[in-house]
Homo-oligomer: A and B are copies of this chain.
Amino acid sequence: MSILVVGSVALDSIATPFGTVEDVLGGSASYFSTSASFFTDVNLLAVIGEDFPQEHVDFLRSRNINLDGLMRAPGKTFRWRGRYEYDLNEAHTLDTQLNVFETFKPQLPEHYRQAEYVFLANIDPDIQREALSQVAAPELVACDTMNFWIDGKKEALLRTLELVDILIINEAEVRQLAQEPNLVKAAAIVRSYGPRTLVVKRGEYGVLMFGEGSIFSAPAYPLEEVFDPTGAGDTFAGGFFGYLAATRNLSETNLRKAIIFGTIMASFTVEKFSLERLKQISHEDISDRFKRIKLLTDFADLD
């Protein structure tokens, strides 16, 4: 079972208290698809500029990610510049250059239109809907968004949400979207907009998943070295959705396991800049952290 992801492929410049990098591989679709590729096949739809380095294309292809939908357009690649202080939960955006994304119109290659599992990464909600409309019979649709679209294009976003099964956003965005400070109440409001499952990302505090009459609380994996949180949320979504696509099982238990796999993938991403850490890990590293998270949360069956 393969996934279709629509999102950004970007070049990031990042400063953290631990170092700086210029023009490294970034973007929601890069993180998502690399993470998901540990579990299933991925078809990527995004646009890059003439300046996008071939080595990054080669890397994504080496992960068996289908790049037929990676369009090269005249102009420069989407760029993001950000900075983190010691509080790594908060990204300070210094500069965003949309470049080739300014005029991006998604055009799905013919064989992408048969996709059953679709992830709409954080882009303009109108583009999300435009891409989704080209998929013949989507079985499961997940989506991310951000404060920028909640502020600026709320109506368009609400139209997208009506078509979405699983929404994956940050805690502050849940409160903002629902205009309700209590998270439990806000989750119920957001679920009434369409998504039957709401996954709330809370950075170093883990994840809450709200379903019909159920809440699941997952911790973050406690790390001694958090180097750069960029891409953690997209990596999480990739592990989560990749595991769901690989298992094709939407039971509560399997959704919860998918959350844990997403958490694990994100825990690797933040250990180095860009996708450097994801390039190094094996399936054994992933299962090892799965066991550790079990030990981290269990309070009944240890003795």
Contacts and interface: CB of A to CB of B under 8 A. Distances in A.
A90 to B, nearest CB: 13
Interface string A29-61: 000000000000000000000000000000000
A222 B183 contact: yes
A299 B260 contact: yes
A100 interface: no
B183 A259 contact: no
A300 B253 contact: yes
Contact of A202 (B205, B296, B299, B300): B205
Interface stretch (A7-15, A131-139, A154-162, A211-219): A211-219
A299 B223 contact: no
Interface residues of A, number: 40
A222 B299 contact: no
Contacts of A282: none
Contacts of A215: 222, 296
A252 interface: yes
B216 A299 contact: yes
Nearest to A223: B184
B252 A302 contact: yes
Given A217-B219, A219-B219, A224-B184, A253 B202 contact: no
A185 B224 contact: yes
Contacts of A182: 223-226
B296 A216 contact: yes
Nearest to A292: B215
A292 to B, nearest CB: 9
Interface string A267-303: 0000000000000000000000000001111111111
Contacts of A301: 253
A63 to B, nearest CB: 26
B222 A256 contact: no
Interface string A201-212: 010111010000
A178 to B, nearest CB: 13
Given A184-B222, A202-B205, A256 B216 contact: no
16 contacts: A87-B181, A182-B224, A182-B225, A184-B222, A185-B224, A205-B206, A208-B222, A215-B222, A215-B296, A217-B219, A217-B296, A252-B303, A257-B299, A257-B300, A260-B299, A294-B299
The 9 closest A-B pairs by CB, nearest first: A217-B219, A256-B299, A205-B205, A86-B181, A253-B302, A184-B224, A253-B303, A217-B296, A184-B222
